[in-house]
Amino acid sequence: MLFDLRSRGRRRTVQAVYLTLAVLIGGGLVLFGVGTGSGNGGLLNAFGGGGSGSSKPAVSQAEKAALRQTQLNSNSASAWAALVQARYEAAGQDQNQTTGQFTTAGQEKLRQAGDAWQHYLKLTSKPNGTVALLAANAYDSLGDARHGVGAWQAVIQSNPSAFTYYEHLAADAWQAKETDLGDLASQKAISLAPKAQRLQVKTQLDQLKSQITKGTAGTAGATTPGATSTTGG
């Protein structure tokens, strides 16, 4: 029998077998995460990208990658556009999903997204509509109506037929004391709205302008019809 240790040769054989088993078991523990109970999958999974991970580190990595690209090529409009998106998404990790309010950290990410947007504008004469919408929502969430006006104009440049975008532009323009622009945007929103909704849109915009004029409307983010989806409409 293999485990009869009376023979010196047998003892060496058994020692060799145990050593081999130890290497195999140890390798399984380290490389595959066998028996660790951690669910991390060991070193092989780490190198292979195994495991689902959390969304927050993924967003952080996206931001780092986008920032790196702007450093490698500061004149790349696409790199700055990617940084706007990455920072806006990073801000979403610090947002109350019930109230929609951003934490201090989230607000800082929104400001950084706005900074990236300003760099992006210097590099393109035709901003991407989706990127513009991210910037516009960021500015509205911060109550920055002055910069919000420019962002909403870029959104409209890309999609001039969505009446809700003109509603947001009107709200920010009135907040920024650009009354004429706000009035024009309001009129355009009403004309583009579905016929059955025009009276409601006009009433809401008239009330909004009155509140802003009297200084009772609060921040731009609180006065606009609501956060606009980045898919348009």
Query: Do 196 and 176 form a contact (C-beta atoms < 8 A)?
Result: no
- Tell me: the pLDDT tens digits for 185-195? 999 999 999 99
In CATH terms, the superfamily for domain 56-223 is Tetratricopeptide repeat domain (1.25.40.10)
- Tell me: the pLDDT tens digits for 147-160? 999 999 999 999 99
Please give the Cα distance from 193 to 164 (Å, whole number): 8
Give the start-to-end residue ranges of the domains of the chain.
Answer: 8-48, 56-223
Give the whole-number percent of the chain exceeding pLDDT 70. Answer: 67
Predicted pLDDT of residue 101: 93
Better-scored residue on pLDDT, 42 or 68: 68
Average pLDDT, the chain: 79
Predicted pLDDT of residue 97: 87
